[in-house]
Structure 1
Amino acid sequence: MIFTDKKGLVHDVQLLNLKCNRECKVVESKGNSWVAECKHDCNWRVQISPEFPLATIIEVVKKKFHFTISYKKVWLARTNAVTMVFRDSDESYLRLPRSMDALQAFNPGTVVMWDMVPKLLSSSFRTEMYMNCVFWAFKLAIEGFKYCRPMICIDDTHLYRKYKGKIVAATTVTVADKITPLAFAIVDKEMIESWGWFITLLRRHVCRDQEGVTLIFDRHRALLSVMSRICDSPAV
Protein backbone atom coordinates (compact mmCIF):
# COMPACT_ATOMS: atom_id res chain seq x y z
CA MET A 1 0.00 0.00 0.00
CA ILE A 2 1.08 3.58 -0.67
CA PHE A 3 0.49 6.41 1.80
CA THR A 4 0.98 10.08 1.01
CA ASP A 5 2.38 10.84 4.44
CA LYS A 6 3.25 9.41 7.83
CA LYS A 7 0.04 10.70 9.41
CA GLY A 8 -2.10 8.69 7.00
CA LEU A 9 -0.21 5.47 7.73
CA VAL A 10 -0.49 5.89 11.50
CA HIS A 11 -4.23 6.59 11.18
CA ASP A 12 -4.86 3.45 9.11
CA VAL A 13 -2.83 1.26 11.46
CA GLN A 14 -4.86 2.56 14.41
CA LEU A 15 -8.13 1.79 12.57
CA LEU A 16 -6.88 -1.72 11.79
CA ASN A 17 -6.07 -2.29 15.45
CA LEU A 18 -9.62 -1.27 16.43
CA LYS A 19 -11.19 -3.58 13.85
CA CYS A 20 -9.03 -6.54 14.83
CA ASN A 21 -9.20 -5.79 18.56
CA ARG A 22 -5.42 -5.64 18.74
CA GLU A 23 -2.99 -3.15 20.21
CA CYS A 24 0.33 -2.11 18.74
CA LYS A 25 3.29 -0.40 20.34
CA VAL A 26 5.42 2.25 18.68
CA VAL A 27 9.04 1.16 18.61
CA GLU A 28 10.40 4.31 16.98
CA SER A 29 8.94 7.59 15.75
CA LYS A 30 11.09 10.43 14.46
CA GLY A 31 10.81 12.66 11.42
CA ASN A 32 9.37 10.68 8.51
CA SER A 33 10.30 7.34 10.09
CA TRP A 34 7.82 5.24 12.04
CA VAL A 35 8.14 1.69 13.38
CA ALA A 36 5.38 -0.20 15.21
CA GLU A 37 4.70 -3.83 16.08
CA CYS A 38 1.87 -5.84 17.60
CA LYS A 39 1.83 -6.34 21.37
CA HIS A 40 0.24 -9.78 20.97
CA ASP A 41 1.43 -12.87 19.10
CA CYS A 42 0.56 -11.46 15.66
CA ASN A 43 4.17 -11.44 14.51
CA TRP A 44 3.74 -8.33 12.35
CA ARG A 45 5.74 -5.14 12.15
CA VAL A 46 5.17 -1.88 10.27
CA GLN A 47 8.09 0.26 9.25
CA ILE A 48 8.15 3.39 7.10
CA SER A 49 11.11 5.44 5.99
CA PRO A 50 11.63 7.43 2.76
CA GLU A 51 15.31 6.52 2.90
CA PHE A 52 14.96 2.81 3.64
CA PRO A 53 18.47 1.29 3.41
CA LEU A 54 19.02 -0.79 0.27
CA ALA A 55 20.71 -3.54 2.23
CA THR A 56 17.64 -3.83 4.47
CA ILE A 57 15.33 -4.09 1.46
CA ILE A 58 17.46 -6.85 -0.03
CA GLU A 59 17.38 -8.74 3.27
CA VAL A 60 13.59 -8.38 3.63
CA VAL A 61 12.97 -9.66 0.08
CA LYS A 62 15.34 -12.56 0.62
CA LYS A 63 13.69 -13.53 3.88
CA LYS A 64 10.14 -13.29 2.57
CA PHE A 65 10.49 -14.57 -1.01
CA HIS A 66 13.70 -16.64 -0.72
CA PHE A 67 15.21 -14.69 -3.58
CA THR A 68 18.22 -12.39 -3.68
CA ILE A 69 17.48 -9.27 -5.70
CA SER A 70 20.26 -7.22 -7.28
CA TYR A 71 21.39 -3.91 -5.83
CA LYS A 72 20.45 -2.07 -9.05
CA LYS A 73 16.89 -3.41 -9.05
CA VAL A 74 16.44 -2.46 -5.41
CA TRP A 75 17.71 1.06 -6.09
CA LEU A 76 15.36 1.48 -9.06
CA ALA A 77 12.39 0.11 -7.10
CA ARG A 78 13.02 2.43 -4.16
CA THR A 79 13.47 5.41 -6.49
CA ASN A 80 10.18 4.63 -8.26
CA ALA A 81 8.37 4.20 -4.93
CA VAL A 82 9.61 7.55 -3.63
CA THR A 83 8.59 9.19 -6.92
CA MET A 84 5.09 7.70 -6.67
CA VAL A 85 4.63 9.17 -3.20
CA PHE A 86 6.54 12.46 -3.41
CA ARG A 87 6.41 12.98 -7.20
CA ASP A 88 9.35 13.56 -9.48
CA SER A 89 11.79 16.34 -8.51
CA ASP A 90 11.81 17.83 -12.01
CA GLU A 91 8.00 17.88 -12.11
CA SER A 92 7.85 19.54 -8.69
CA TYR A 93 10.16 22.36 -9.75
CA LEU A 94 8.27 22.83 -13.02
CA ARG A 95 5.06 23.29 -11.01
CA LEU A 96 6.67 25.90 -8.75
CA PRO A 97 5.97 28.99 -10.96
CA ARG A 98 2.31 28.03 -11.31
CA SER A 99 2.09 27.47 -7.56
CA MET A 100 3.52 30.93 -6.90
CA ASP A 101 1.10 32.48 -9.40
CA ALA A 102 -1.75 30.79 -7.52
CA LEU A 103 -0.48 32.18 -4.21
CA GLN A 104 -0.56 35.69 -5.61
CA ALA A 105 -3.91 35.21 -7.35
CA PHE A 106 -5.72 33.95 -4.24
CA ASN A 107 -3.74 36.09 -1.77
CA PRO A 108 -3.58 39.58 -3.34
CA GLY A 109 -0.58 41.55 -2.16
CA THR A 110 1.59 38.47 -1.63
CA VAL A 111 5.17 39.19 -2.69
CA VAL A 112 7.02 36.67 -4.87
CA MET A 113 10.51 37.44 -6.14
CA TRP A 114 12.60 35.26 -8.45
CA ASP A 115 16.35 35.15 -8.97
CA MET A 116 17.02 33.61 -12.37
CA VAL A 117 20.37 32.68 -13.91
CA PRO A 118 21.14 32.05 -17.60
CA LYS A 119 22.50 28.68 -18.70
CA LEU A 120 23.99 27.92 -22.09
CA LEU A 121 22.71 24.72 -23.69
CA SER A 122 25.61 23.08 -25.50
CA SER A 123 23.31 21.01 -27.70
CA SER A 124 21.54 23.98 -29.30
CA PHE A 125 23.90 26.86 -28.47
CA ARG A 126 21.08 28.85 -26.94
CA THR A 127 20.51 30.23 -23.46
CA GLU A 128 17.72 29.31 -21.08
CA MET A 129 16.86 30.87 -17.73
CA TYR A 130 16.97 28.66 -14.65
CA MET A 131 15.74 29.34 -11.13
CA ASN A 132 18.44 30.14 -8.64
CA CYS A 133 16.28 31.36 -5.74
CA VAL A 134 12.65 32.24 -5.02
CA PHE A 135 11.32 34.40 -2.19
CA TRP A 136 7.72 34.75 -1.02
CA ALA A 137 5.89 36.58 1.77
CA PHE A 138 2.14 36.55 2.32
CA LYS A 139 0.24 39.86 2.41
CA LEU A 140 -1.31 39.03 5.80
CA ALA A 141 2.14 38.38 7.27
CA ILE A 142 3.51 41.62 5.84
CA GLU A 143 0.65 43.70 7.23
CA GLY A 144 0.59 41.83 10.53
CA PHE A 145 4.29 42.33 11.26
CA LYS A 146 3.69 45.93 12.36
CA TYR A 147 1.57 44.58 15.23
CA CYS A 148 4.15 41.96 16.31
CA ARG A 149 7.21 42.28 18.45
CA PRO A 150 10.03 44.05 16.52
CA MET A 151 12.11 40.92 16.15
CA ILE A 152 12.72 38.38 13.39
CA CYS A 153 14.24 34.91 13.73
CA ILE A 154 15.91 33.42 10.65
CA ASP A 155 16.73 29.75 10.18
CA ASP A 156 17.11 27.24 7.37
CA THR A 157 16.95 23.53 6.67
CA HIS A 158 18.39 21.30 3.97
CA LEU A 159 16.50 20.10 0.91
CA TYR A 160 17.26 16.52 -0.09
CA ARG A 161 16.57 14.19 -3.02
CA LYS A 162 17.73 15.13 -6.55
CA TYR A 163 18.23 18.88 -6.20
CA LYS A 164 20.10 20.04 -3.14
CA GLY A 165 19.59 23.42 -1.59
CA LYS A 166 17.98 25.03 1.41
CA ILE A 167 14.64 26.45 2.41
CA VAL A 168 14.94 29.58 4.54
CA ALA A 169 12.24 30.85 6.89
CA ALA A 170 11.78 34.09 8.78
CA THR A 171 9.45 34.09 11.78
CA THR A 172 8.38 36.58 14.43
CA VAL A 173 6.51 36.58 17.74
CA THR A 174 3.14 38.19 18.34
CA VAL A 175 2.23 40.19 21.43
CA ALA A 176 0.50 37.02 22.67
CA ASP A 177 3.84 35.16 22.41
CA LYS A 178 2.73 33.10 19.41
CA ILE A 179 5.21 32.28 16.65
CA THR A 180 4.04 33.37 13.21
CA PRO A 181 5.80 33.00 9.82
CA LEU A 182 6.82 36.06 7.82
CA ALA A 183 8.67 34.97 4.70
CA PHE A 184 10.23 31.97 2.99
CA ALA A 185 12.80 31.31 0.31
CA ILE A 186 14.27 28.41 -1.60
CA VAL A 187 17.95 29.04 -2.26
CA ASP A 188 20.66 27.12 -4.05
CA LYS A 189 22.93 26.87 -1.05
CA GLU A 190 23.83 28.68 2.15
CA MET A 191 26.33 31.35 1.13
CA ILE A 192 26.84 35.10 1.27
CA GLU A 193 24.95 35.80 -1.97
CA SER A 194 21.89 33.76 -0.93
CA TRP A 195 21.69 35.23 2.55
CA GLY A 196 22.23 38.75 1.23
CA TRP A 197 19.46 38.30 -1.34
CA PHE A 198 17.00 36.95 1.24
CA ILE A 199 17.66 39.51 3.97
CA THR A 200 17.56 42.40 1.49
CA LEU A 201 14.11 41.31 0.26
CA LEU A 202 12.96 40.70 3.84
CA ARG A 203 13.97 44.21 4.82
CA ARG A 204 12.48 45.76 1.67
CA HIS A 205 9.11 43.97 1.58
CA VAL A 206 8.40 42.96 5.20
CA CYS A 207 10.22 45.37 7.52
CA ARG A 208 9.86 48.30 5.10
CA ASP A 209 10.30 51.57 7.03
CA GLN A 210 10.13 49.97 10.47
CA GLU A 211 13.20 50.77 12.55
CA GLY A 212 14.70 49.01 15.55
CA VAL A 213 13.98 45.46 14.35
CA THR A 214 16.12 42.83 16.08
CA LEU A 215 17.36 39.96 13.92
CA ILE A 216 18.03 36.62 15.63
CA PHE A 217 20.16 34.00 13.85
CA ASP A 218 22.99 31.57 14.44
CA ARG A 219 26.44 33.12 14.18
CA HIS A 220 27.17 31.80 10.71
CA ARG A 221 30.09 33.60 9.06
CA ALA A 222 28.12 34.28 5.88
CA LEU A 223 25.25 35.82 7.84
CA LEU A 224 27.59 37.97 9.92
CA SER A 225 29.24 39.24 6.74
CA VAL A 226 25.89 39.95 5.10
CA MET A 227 24.53 41.82 8.12
CA SER A 228 27.65 43.94 8.33
CA ARG A 229 27.36 44.84 4.65
CA ILE A 230 23.61 45.56 4.73
CA CYS A 231 23.75 47.68 7.88
CA ASP A 232 26.48 49.81 6.35
CA SER A 233 24.54 50.34 3.10
CA PRO A 234 21.44 52.57 3.29
CA ALA A 235 20.56 51.57 -0.28
CA VAL A 236 19.17 48.23 0.91
Structure 2
Amino acid sequence: MVLWSHKGQYSKIYDYLGEMGSSNPGSTTILKLDNRVFERMYICLQACKEGFKGCRPIIIIDGCHLKGYYGGTLLAAVGIDGNDNIYPIAYVIVESENESSWTWFLLLLTTDLEIETSHNITFMSDKQKGLVEAMMHVLPNAEHRICMRHLYSNFKNNAQFKGKNLKDALWKVARATYKKEFEDAIDELKALSKPVFDWLNAKDLAQWSKSNFSPRSKSYMLLNNLSECFNKMILEAHDKPILTLMEMIRTKIMENIAKKRKLQTSILEVCVQESKRKLNLQFNSPLGVGLHKHEVKNIKCLLDHLTSMLLI
Protein backbone atom coordinates (compact mmCIF):
# COMPACT_ATOMS: atom_id res chain seq x y z
CA MET A 1 0.00 0.00 0.00
CA VAL A 2 1.21 3.49 -0.82
CA LEU A 3 2.07 5.38 2.38
CA TRP A 4 3.54 8.74 1.36
CA SER A 5 2.10 12.02 2.59
CA HIS A 6 -0.77 13.74 0.77
CA LYS A 7 1.61 16.25 -0.85
CA GLY A 8 4.44 13.81 -1.52
CA GLN A 9 2.28 11.38 -3.48
CA TYR A 10 1.69 13.93 -6.24
CA SER A 11 5.38 13.74 -7.19
CA LYS A 12 5.00 9.99 -7.74
CA ILE A 13 1.96 10.07 -10.05
CA TYR A 14 3.98 9.59 -13.26
CA ASP A 15 5.73 6.58 -11.73
CA TYR A 16 2.40 5.12 -10.63
CA LEU A 17 0.76 5.56 -14.03
CA GLY A 18 3.82 4.13 -15.77
CA GLU A 19 3.73 1.03 -13.59
CA MET A 20 0.00 0.65 -14.18
CA GLY A 21 0.55 0.79 -17.93
CA SER A 22 3.26 -1.88 -17.69
CA SER A 23 1.29 -4.25 -15.48
CA ASN A 24 -2.04 -3.65 -17.28
CA PRO A 25 -1.19 -3.34 -21.01
CA GLY A 26 -3.87 -1.53 -22.99
CA SER A 27 -5.14 0.44 -19.99
CA THR A 28 -5.71 4.18 -20.44
CA THR A 29 -4.01 6.43 -17.88
CA ILE A 30 -4.13 10.17 -18.50
CA LEU A 31 -2.80 12.98 -16.32
CA LYS A 32 -3.81 16.60 -16.99
CA LEU A 33 -1.76 19.44 -15.53
CA ASP A 34 -2.35 23.18 -15.33
CA ASN A 35 1.00 25.04 -15.21
CA ARG A 36 2.64 21.89 -13.85
CA VAL A 37 0.00 21.63 -11.11
CA PHE A 38 -2.26 18.56 -10.90
CA GLU A 39 -5.73 19.14 -12.34
CA ARG A 40 -7.23 15.81 -13.46
CA MET A 41 -6.41 12.11 -13.74
CA TYR A 42 -8.32 9.44 -15.69
CA ILE A 43 -7.99 5.65 -15.49
CA CYS A 44 -9.75 2.90 -17.46
CA LEU A 45 -8.26 -0.58 -17.09
CA GLN A 46 -7.98 -2.78 -20.18
CA ALA A 47 -9.89 -5.56 -18.40
CA CYS A 48 -12.79 -3.13 -17.83
CA LYS A 49 -12.82 -2.15 -21.52
CA GLU A 50 -13.00 -5.79 -22.59
CA GLY A 51 -15.56 -6.72 -19.96
CA PHE A 52 -17.91 -3.91 -20.97
CA LYS A 53 -18.40 -5.62 -24.34
CA GLY A 54 -20.42 -8.27 -22.48
CA CYS A 55 -22.46 -5.76 -20.46
CA ARG A 56 -25.82 -4.16 -21.20
CA PRO A 57 -25.52 -0.95 -23.27
CA ILE A 58 -26.28 1.31 -20.31
CA ILE A 59 -23.81 3.32 -18.22
CA ILE A 60 -24.48 4.91 -14.83
CA ILE A 61 -22.37 7.97 -14.06
CA ASP A 62 -22.02 9.75 -10.73
CA GLY A 63 -19.66 11.86 -8.70
CA CYS A 64 -18.68 12.22 -5.04
CA HIS A 65 -16.59 14.70 -3.08
CA LEU A 66 -13.22 13.53 -1.81
CA LYS A 67 -12.31 14.22 1.82
CA GLY A 68 -8.53 14.26 1.54
CA TYR A 69 -6.31 17.26 2.30
CA TYR A 70 -6.63 18.69 -1.23
CA GLY A 71 -10.28 17.81 -1.79
CA GLY A 72 -11.42 17.28 -5.36
CA THR A 73 -14.17 15.17 -6.89
CA LEU A 74 -14.22 11.57 -8.03
CA LEU A 75 -16.31 10.84 -11.13
CA ALA A 76 -17.05 7.24 -12.02
CA ALA A 77 -18.81 5.21 -14.70
CA VAL A 78 -20.24 1.78 -13.94
CA GLY A 79 -22.04 -0.70 -16.17
CA ILE A 80 -24.49 -3.57 -15.69
CA ASP A 81 -23.42 -7.10 -16.52
CA GLY A 82 -25.74 -9.81 -17.86
CA ASN A 83 -26.62 -10.81 -14.30
CA ASP A 84 -27.72 -7.23 -13.48
CA ASN A 85 -24.70 -6.73 -11.20
CA ILE A 86 -22.29 -3.81 -10.96
CA TYR A 87 -19.42 -3.60 -13.45
CA PRO A 88 -17.02 -0.66 -12.78
CA ILE A 89 -15.67 0.84 -16.01
CA ALA A 90 -13.64 4.01 -15.46
CA TYR A 91 -12.89 6.63 -12.82
CA VAL A 92 -11.36 10.08 -12.76
CA ILE A 93 -10.29 12.71 -10.24
CA VAL A 94 -11.21 16.27 -11.23
CA GLU A 95 -11.28 19.68 -9.58
CA SER A 96 -15.11 19.77 -9.36
CA GLU A 97 -18.29 18.76 -11.16
CA ASN A 98 -18.76 21.17 -14.04
CA GLU A 99 -19.38 21.09 -17.78
CA SER A 100 -15.66 21.07 -18.59
CA SER A 101 -14.76 18.16 -16.30
CA TRP A 102 -17.77 16.08 -17.38
CA THR A 103 -17.01 16.74 -21.06
CA TRP A 104 -13.37 15.67 -20.56
CA PHE A 105 -14.47 12.47 -18.79
CA LEU A 106 -17.15 11.56 -21.35
CA LEU A 107 -14.85 12.13 -24.33
CA LEU A 108 -12.23 9.78 -22.88
CA LEU A 109 -14.86 7.24 -21.85
CA THR A 110 -16.54 7.06 -25.25
CA THR A 111 -13.14 6.65 -26.92
CA ASP A 112 -12.10 3.81 -24.61
CA LEU A 113 -15.43 1.98 -24.99
CA GLU A 114 -15.41 2.54 -28.76
CA ILE A 115 -18.83 4.20 -28.71
CA GLU A 116 -18.99 5.37 -32.31
CA THR A 117 -22.63 6.47 -32.28
CA SER A 118 -24.56 7.76 -29.28
CA HIS A 119 -27.76 6.20 -30.68
CA ASN A 120 -26.70 2.84 -29.26
CA ILE A 121 -25.98 3.76 -25.64
CA THR A 122 -28.02 4.82 -22.60
CA PHE A 123 -26.77 6.85 -19.65
CA MET A 124 -28.31 7.28 -16.21
CA SER A 125 -27.47 10.03 -13.73
CA ASP A 126 -28.80 12.44 -11.12
CA LYS A 127 -28.33 15.31 -13.60
CA GLN A 128 -25.25 16.62 -11.79
CA LYS A 129 -24.06 20.17 -12.37
CA GLY A 130 -22.79 20.60 -15.92
CA LEU A 131 -23.55 17.01 -16.94
CA VAL A 132 -26.61 17.72 -19.10
CA GLU A 133 -24.67 20.27 -21.15
CA ALA A 134 -21.71 17.88 -21.49
CA MET A 135 -24.00 15.06 -22.62
CA MET A 136 -25.53 17.27 -25.30
CA HIS A 137 -22.04 18.10 -26.57
CA VAL A 138 -20.47 14.62 -26.48
CA LEU A 139 -23.47 12.27 -26.81
CA PRO A 140 -26.34 14.28 -28.30
CA ASN A 141 -28.38 11.24 -29.37
CA ALA A 142 -27.88 9.04 -26.31
CA GLU A 143 -30.84 8.14 -24.14
CA HIS A 144 -30.31 9.96 -20.82
CA ARG A 145 -32.34 8.65 -17.91
CA ILE A 146 -32.86 10.38 -14.59
CA CYS A 147 -32.63 8.34 -11.41
CA MET A 148 -36.23 8.07 -10.20
CA ARG A 149 -35.13 8.59 -6.60
CA HIS A 150 -33.63 11.94 -7.63
CA LEU A 151 -36.87 12.88 -9.40
CA TYR A 152 -38.90 11.89 -6.34
CA SER A 153 -36.60 13.94 -4.11
CA ASN A 154 -37.44 17.05 -6.17
CA PHE A 155 -41.11 16.03 -6.12
CA LYS A 156 -41.44 15.79 -2.34
CA ASN A 157 -39.66 19.13 -1.83
CA ASN A 158 -42.70 20.83 -3.37
CA ALA A 159 -45.11 21.86 -0.60
CA GLN A 160 -48.11 21.03 -2.82
CA PHE A 161 -47.01 17.45 -3.43
CA LYS A 162 -47.52 15.83 -0.04
CA GLY A 163 -49.17 12.59 1.03
CA LYS A 164 -48.65 8.88 0.56
CA ASN A 165 -51.35 8.67 -2.13
CA LEU A 166 -49.45 11.04 -4.41
CA LYS A 167 -46.16 9.26 -3.72
CA ASP A 168 -47.64 5.86 -4.56
CA ALA A 169 -49.33 7.25 -7.68
CA LEU A 170 -46.06 8.78 -8.89
CA TRP A 171 -44.14 5.51 -8.52
CA LYS A 172 -46.96 3.57 -10.14
CA VAL A 173 -46.67 5.78 -13.23
CA ALA A 174 -42.89 5.34 -13.35
CA ARG A 175 -43.04 1.55 -12.93
CA ALA A 176 -45.73 0.94 -15.57
CA THR A 177 -44.13 -1.28 -18.20
CA TYR A 178 -46.52 -0.93 -21.16
CA LYS A 179 -48.52 1.91 -22.71
CA LYS A 180 -52.02 1.03 -21.44
CA GLU A 181 -50.76 0.50 -17.90
CA PHE A 182 -48.98 3.87 -18.08
CA GLU A 183 -52.08 5.67 -19.40
CA ASP A 184 -54.25 4.22 -16.63
CA ALA A 185 -51.69 5.17 -13.98
CA ILE A 186 -51.25 8.73 -15.27
CA ASP A 187 -55.05 9.18 -15.37
CA GLU A 188 -55.24 8.10 -11.73
CA LEU A 189 -52.52 10.59 -10.84
CA LYS A 190 -54.28 13.38 -12.72
CA ALA A 191 -57.50 12.65 -10.83
CA LEU A 192 -55.62 12.94 -7.54
CA SER A 193 -53.78 16.17 -8.35
CA LYS A 194 -53.77 18.25 -11.52
CA PRO A 195 -50.68 20.26 -10.39
CA VAL A 196 -48.69 17.03 -9.94
CA PHE A 197 -49.83 15.82 -13.35
CA ASP A 198 -48.71 19.09 -14.98
CA TRP A 199 -45.35 18.99 -13.15
CA LEU A 200 -44.68 15.43 -14.27
CA ASN A 201 -46.03 15.93 -17.79
CA ALA A 202 -43.50 18.72 -18.37
CA LYS A 203 -40.66 16.21 -18.05
CA ASP A 204 -39.37 13.96 -20.82
CA LEU A 205 -41.15 10.59 -20.46
CA ALA A 206 -38.19 8.72 -21.93
CA GLN A 207 -36.06 9.82 -18.97
CA TRP A 208 -38.07 8.34 -16.10
CA SER A 209 -40.98 6.14 -17.32
CA LYS A 210 -40.39 2.41 -17.93
CA SER A 211 -43.07 2.23 -20.60
CA ASN A 212 -41.27 4.92 -22.58
CA PHE A 213 -37.71 3.60 -22.26
CA SER A 214 -35.95 2.66 -25.47
CA PRO A 215 -35.47 -1.13 -25.79
CA ARG A 216 -31.89 -0.57 -26.95
CA SER A 217 -30.64 -0.35 -23.34
CA LYS A 218 -31.91 -3.86 -22.55
CA SER A 219 -32.68 -2.61 -19.04
CA TYR A 220 -35.72 -1.29 -17.15
CA MET A 221 -33.53 0.28 -14.45
CA LEU A 222 -35.18 3.22 -12.68
CA LEU A 223 -32.62 3.82 -9.92
CA ASN A 224 -28.87 4.37 -10.02
CA ASN A 225 -28.33 1.97 -7.12
CA LEU A 226 -25.24 0.50 -8.78
CA SER A 227 -23.49 3.87 -8.72
CA GLU A 228 -24.27 4.20 -5.03
CA CYS A 229 -23.01 0.64 -4.57
CA PHE A 230 -19.69 1.62 -6.17
CA ASN A 231 -19.36 4.67 -3.93
CA LYS A 232 -19.99 2.48 -0.90
CA MET A 233 -17.45 -0.06 -2.17
CA ILE A 234 -14.70 2.60 -2.18
CA LEU A 235 -15.96 4.65 0.79
CA GLU A 236 -12.90 3.95 2.94
CA ALA A 237 -10.68 5.46 0.23
CA HIS A 238 -12.38 8.89 0.10
CA ASP A 239 -10.06 10.56 2.62
CA LYS A 240 -6.80 8.92 1.52
CA PRO A 241 -3.83 10.53 -0.31
CA ILE A 242 -4.26 10.51 -4.08
CA LEU A 243 -2.22 7.41 -4.98
CA THR A 244 -3.50 5.44 -2.01
CA LEU A 245 -7.00 6.35 -3.19
CA MET A 246 -6.35 5.28 -6.78
CA GLU A 247 -4.67 2.04 -5.74
CA MET A 248 -7.53 1.12 -3.39
CA ILE A 249 -10.03 1.68 -6.21
CA ARG A 250 -7.95 -0.38 -8.66
CA THR A 251 -7.67 -3.21 -6.13
CA LYS A 252 -11.43 -3.23 -5.51
CA ILE A 253 -12.12 -3.36 -9.25
CA MET A 254 -9.67 -6.20 -9.84
CA GLU A 255 -11.13 -8.15 -6.91
CA ASN A 256 -14.59 -7.66 -8.40
CA ILE A 257 -13.44 -8.94 -11.81
CA ALA A 258 -11.72 -11.96 -10.24
CA LYS A 259 -14.84 -12.76 -8.22
CA LYS A 260 -17.03 -12.62 -11.35
CA ARG A 261 -14.60 -14.83 -13.27
CA LYS A 262 -14.65 -17.45 -10.49
CA LEU A 263 -18.45 -17.36 -10.35
CA GLN A 264 -18.72 -17.68 -14.13
CA THR A 265 -16.55 -20.81 -14.25
CA SER A 266 -18.73 -22.47 -11.59
CA ILE A 267 -21.97 -22.02 -13.57
CA LEU A 268 -22.46 -24.48 -16.42
CA GLU A 269 -25.86 -23.28 -17.66
CA VAL A 270 -27.30 -21.59 -20.72
CA CYS A 271 -28.33 -18.45 -18.84
CA VAL A 272 -26.83 -16.33 -16.07
CA GLN A 273 -28.66 -16.57 -12.74
CA GLU A 274 -30.75 -13.39 -12.98
CA SER A 275 -31.94 -14.21 -16.50
CA LYS A 276 -32.76 -17.74 -15.40
CA ARG A 277 -34.88 -16.39 -12.53
CA LYS A 278 -36.85 -14.18 -14.91
CA LEU A 279 -37.31 -16.94 -17.48
CA ASN A 280 -38.56 -19.32 -14.82
CA LEU A 281 -41.37 -16.97 -13.87
CA GLN A 282 -44.79 -18.23 -14.85
CA PHE A 283 -46.37 -16.21 -17.61
CA ASN A 284 -49.55 -16.19 -19.69
CA SER A 285 -49.58 -16.52 -23.46
CA PRO A 286 -52.67 -15.24 -25.37
CA LEU A 287 -53.89 -17.41 -28.27
CA GLY A 288 -56.35 -16.05 -30.83
CA VAL A 289 -59.52 -18.16 -31.14
CA GLY A 290 -61.65 -15.86 -33.28
CA LEU A 291 -62.45 -12.23 -33.99
CA HIS A 292 -61.62 -10.18 -30.88
CA LYS A 293 -61.47 -13.40 -28.83
CA HIS A 294 -58.48 -14.90 -27.10
CA GLU A 295 -57.69 -17.90 -25.00
CA VAL A 296 -54.99 -17.62 -22.34
CA LYS A 297 -52.56 -20.50 -22.20
CA ASN A 298 -50.48 -20.86 -19.05
CA ILE A 299 -46.81 -21.74 -19.51
CA LYS A 300 -44.82 -22.53 -16.38
CA CYS A 301 -41.24 -22.27 -17.56
CA LEU A 302 -40.01 -20.32 -20.57
CA LEU A 303 -36.45 -21.48 -19.88
CA ASP A 304 -37.36 -25.06 -20.85
CA HIS A 305 -38.59 -23.83 -24.24
CA LEU A 306 -35.52 -21.62 -24.73
CA THR A 307 -33.13 -24.43 -23.80
CA SER A 308 -34.82 -26.91 -26.12
CA MET A 309 -34.60 -24.38 -28.97
CA LEU A 310 -30.89 -23.87 -28.34
CA LEU A 311 -30.26 -27.61 -28.31
CA ILE A 312 -32.00 -28.30 -31.63
* TM-score grouping bracket, smaller chain normalisation: 0.5 to 0.7
Please give the secondary structure, in 1, of the residue aligned with 2:49: helix
Tell me which residue corresponds to 2:139: 231
Structure 1 gaps of 5+ residues are: 5-84, 119-128
Please give the secondary structure, in 1, of the residue aligned with 2:26: coil
| Conservation of the 8 A alpha-carbon contact between 1:182 and 1:206 | no
Please give the secondary structure, in 1, of the residue aligned with 2:97: coil
Pairs within 5 Å for 1:23-38: none
Pairs within 5 Å for 1:11-30: none
| Conservation of the 8 A alpha-carbon contact between 1:110 and 1:136 | yes
Partners of 1:218 and 1:134 in 2: CA distance = 23
Query: Is residue 113 of structure 1 aligned with residue 30 of structure 2?
Result: yes
Alignment length, in residue pairs? 140
Cα displacement string for residues 169-212 of structure 1 (whole angstroms, at most 9, x for unaligned residues): 11001001121110010101111111110011111112433651
TM superposition outliers: structure 1 runs of 4+ over 4 Å: none
- Counterpart amino acid of residue 90 in structure 1: K
Identity value in percent: 27
Query: Is residue 212 of structure 1 aligned with residue 129 of structure 2?
Result: no
Query: Is residue 104 of structure 1 aligned with residue 21 of structure 2?
Result: yes
Tell me which residue corresponds to 1:82: none
Partners of 2:138 and 2:50 in 1: CA distance = 23
Structure 2 gaps of 5+ residues are: 142-312
Going from structure 1 to structure 2, the CA distance change for 1:86 and 1:102 (only over 3 Å counts) comes to closer
Partners of 1:163 and 1:222 in 2: CA distance = 22
Partners of 2:54 and 2:12 in 1: CA distance = 34
Partners of 1:199 and 1:222 in 2: CA distance = 12
Partners of 1:189 and 1:212 in 2: CA distance = 29
Tell me which residue corresponds to 1:168: 75
Partners of 1:141 and 1:205 in 2: CA distance = 10
Tell me which residue corresponds to 2:11: 94
| Conservation of the 8 A alpha-carbon contact between 2:44 and 2:89 | yes
Partners of 1:179 and 1:207 in 2: CA distance = 20
Pairs within 5 Å for 1:167-186: 167-186=74-93
Going from structure 1 to structure 2, the CA distance change for 1:207 and 1:111 (only over 3 Å counts) comes to same
More helix by share: 2
Please state how far the C-alpha of 1:148 moved relative to its aligned partner: 0.5
- Counterpart amino acid of residue 200 in structure 1: L
Higher relative contact order by CA 8 Å / sep ≥ 6: 1 or 2?
Answer: 2
| Conservation of the 8 A alpha-carbon contact between 1:107 and 1:138 | yes
Partners of 2:61 and 2:111 in 1: CA distance = 16
TM-score (norm. length: structure 2)? 0.42
Indicate the RMSD between aligned Cα atoms, in angstroms: 2.1
- Counterpart amino acid of residue 138 in structure 2: I
- Counterpart amino acid of residue 57 in structure 2: P
| Conservation of the 8 A alpha-carbon contact between 2:60 and 2:123 | yes
| Conservation of the 8 A alpha-carbon contact between 1:152 and 1:170 | yes
TM-score (norm. length: structure 1)? 0.55
Cα displacement string for residues 50-109 of structure 1 (whole angstroms, at most 9, x for unaligned residues): xxxxxxxxxxxxxxxxxxxxxxxxxxxxxxxxxxx9642101222222221111110100
Going from structure 1 to structure 2, the CA distance change for 1:102 and 1:93 (only over 3 Å counts) comes to same
Tell me which residue corresponds to 2:290: none
Picking from 38, 42, 55, the partner of 1:135 is 42
Partners of 1:219 and 1:208 in 2: CA distance = 21
Partners of 1:148 and 1:231 in 2: CA distance = 19
- Counterpart amino acid of residue 180 in structure 1: Y
Query: Is residue 199 of structure 1 aligned with residue 106 of structure 2?
Result: yes
- Counterpart amino acid of residue 101 in structure 1: G
Partners of 2:125 and 2:49 in 1: CA distance = 20
Tell me which residue corresponds to 2:280: none
Please give the secondary structure, in 2, of the residue aligned with 1:147: coil
Tell me which residue corresponds to 2:66: 159
Tell me which residue corresponds to 1:190: 97
